[in-house]
Amino acid sequence: MSDRAERAGWTPPLRRRRRSDWATQAPTWREARPALIADALKRASGRPCGNWFVVGASRDVRAGDRPYGRTVGGVEVVLWRSDTG
């Protein structure tokens, strides 16, 4: 451990934030700019993906658990993790 961490009163610069309640969040859709979103989508759709696709959260594909199936671009894919992750 560094000398800084051993000093009394030192706290790390990062702290965990409390999770906010979804229902209490401000409605940001009023600030949305549809033209900007449409332009960004058009630019992103025109770029090659390199055959990398988001198919789900990593927490959904657990080590040693059942295979996780999805359809991406009309192609069925199966994801799984070995017992070692």
0.75 exceeded by the pTM?
no
Residue-wise pLDDT for 16-40, tens only, equals 888 888 888 887 887 888 999 999 9
* Stated length of the chain: 85
Residue-wise pLDDT for 47-80, tens only, equals 877 778 888 888 888 888 888 888 888 889 898 8
| 61, 63, 67, 70: CA torsion to nearest 10 | 20
Q: Are 25 and 43 in contact (CB under 8 A)?
A: no
Closest CA to 62 of 82, 78, 48: 82
